[in-house]
Amino acid sequence: MAQPREQWASRFGFVLAAVGSAVGLGNMWRFSYLTAENGGAAFVVLYLIMTALVGLPVMLAELTVGRGARRSPIGALEHFGGTRWRPLGLVFVATGFLILAYYSVIAGWTVRYALIGLLAGFDGDPGERFGAIASGSRAVLWHLLFMGATVAVVMSGVRAGIERVALVLMPVLFAIVVGLAIYAATLPGSGPGYGYYLSVDFAALWDANVLAAAAGQAFFSLSLGMGAILTYASYLSRENHLPNESVVIAGADFGVAFVAGLVVFPLLFALGLQQDVGESTVGALFITLPKAFSEMGAAGRVVGVVFFFALVVGALTSAISLLEVVVSSLMDRLGWERHHATFLLGGAIALLGIPAALETDVLGAMDGLAERFFLIAGGLGLSLFVGWRMQDPMGEVRVGAEGVRWFGLWRWLLRLVVPAFLGFVLYWSLGDLSGALQSLAGG
């Protein structure tokens, strides 16, 4: 409590850090496998609509609460809403714990893949390799190493750690993804991949399952619904044009996911591997893509290593934001010093991730629980908070953004449209979720 609150060094640094939070495994791994699972282009369209209609308003809400209160989630909600809103803040922190625990396990896989590609190449049986990497003691080890790296960055603080890493790594990630998309376009036979990915079957837009998946994915990918963006915004001074920031962050996040699809689908179709992702699970991409890389020979090895390196980068900058939510909460609430808070919480999360590293089904269940329940419930709570409870959120947004006209619309989206929509998604997902948990208990 004694130390003054840290701040970003520059507007650009903040934006890149927030984009770094948003862009991660969600954009490349999860987006591709959900697109494949939900039939291609229709899912992409729904995901875009969800990003704009539901994601953007909630993004602006998080930015507004965070910058306005200059506190981490629990304190920020209390500041504007009183102690009755504390539980929502606690849910945010708990969600951060849950997500980072398994997210770090998947990130560990990506590190392994990058290293294996570099040192040995991608030849060999891809399914067997995935089995060896994804669970068991090796998976635990790489999960712990990845958590160690995350802890090291967060320990260094907002400017020297989080912002610096984003400034260096995010441009690299953008360059890689765009470069790979251009390369994929040169592959003979990639044409049908574009068709699958881009030509929309409008009838499929009316499927509630696809819609619910698209909403969950938009939240996950934008890092919304658990106070990550809120926490980053709490380190802002009050000059930023928040509506513009929200558009830039959401636009960059969608952009990277979209371009990642322009890598994955043309590549898979060019190598005739598209059926492989059809019945997809968490592992699909980790099995199918290396198969493609190995069939492409020497070029494939380079492309594969670079691809997995980009995934590692995205995962790291996202994991940092997840850890920062819990760390800043402990610092704000209990006055802990950053080093101690980071070390303790990083360690606790690392332990929680071990079951997910031992058993891929546990990981899948944790992911489903987080994305289909906690993030949506958190987003619902936050939109009601800013829509109905917070006094004059528009006044806060207007600081640094005079003259924007659509604030009225924004508040009504938060009051009615977003809650109605998220309420429906929550209701719809609960059925799925109980099924998933049952199958876990049974298996």
- Per CB under 6 A, residues contacting ligand TRP are 21-22, 24-27, 99, 220-221, 223, 226, 228, 318, 321-322, 375
How far apart are CB 217 and ligand TRP at their closest, in Å? 9
Start-to-end Cα distance in the chain: 47
Tokens representing residue 252 in the block: 């960059």
Q: How far apart are CA 212 and CA 225, in angstroms?
A: 15
Percent helix, strand, coil in the chain, to 5, is 85, 0, 15
**Alpha-helix residue ranges (DSSP H) falling in 11-125:** 11-22, 25, 31-37, 41-50, 56-69, 73-81, 86-119
Residue 228 vs 397, nearer CB to ligand TRP: 228
How far apart are CB 260 and ligand TRP at their closest, in Å? 11
Q: What are phi and psi of 277, to 5 degrees?
A: -90, -10
How far apart are CB 270 and ligand TRP at their closest, in Å? 26
Residue 55 vs 126, nearer CB to ligand TRP: 55
Q: Return the H-helix or E-strand segment holding 405.
A: none
Residue 54 vs 228, nearer CB to ligand TRP: 228
How far apart are CB 347 and ligand TRP at their closest, in Å? 19
Residue 25 vs 271, nearer CB to ligand TRP: 25
Helix axes 137-155, 338-358, angle to 10 degrees: 160
CB neighbour list of residue 60: distance below 8 Å, 6 or more residues apart: 242, 243, 246, 397, 410
CA distances for 51 relative to 45, 159, 256, angstroms:
10, 29, 13
How far apart are CB 23 and ligand TRP at their closest, in Å? 6
Residue 25 vs 34, nearer CB to ligand TRP: 25
Tokens representing residue 260 in the block: 């990642």
Residue 21 vs 246, nearer CB to ligand TRP: 21
Residue 303 vs 311, nearer CB to ligand TRP: 311
For 192-227, b/e burial (b = at least 16 CB within 10 A) is ebbebbeeeeeebbebeebbbbbbbbbbbbbbbbbb
Residue 256 vs 296, nearer CB to ligand TRP: 256
How far apart are CB 124 and ligand TRP at their closest, in Å? 28
Instruction: State which amino acid sits at residue 96.
Output: G
Q: How far apart are CA 241 and CA 64, in angstroms?
A: 10
Q: How far apart are CA 182 and CA 268, in angstroms?
A: 15
Instruction: Output the residue with the shortest Cβ distance to ligand TRP.
Output: 26
Is residue 91 within 8 Å of 378, Cβ to Cβ?
yes
Residue 270 vs 418, nearer CB to ligand TRP: 418
Is residue 264 within 8 Å of 285, Cβ to Cβ?
yes
Q: Tell me how crowded residue 279 is: count the other CB atoms within 10 A of its CB.
A: 9
Residue 220 vs 235, nearer CB to ligand TRP: 220
Is residue 367 within 8 Å of 206, Cβ to Cβ?
no
Residue 217 vs 274, nearer CB to ligand TRP: 217
**Alpha-helix residue ranges (DSSP H) falling in 135-241:** 137-155, 164-185, 191-198, 208-221, 228-233
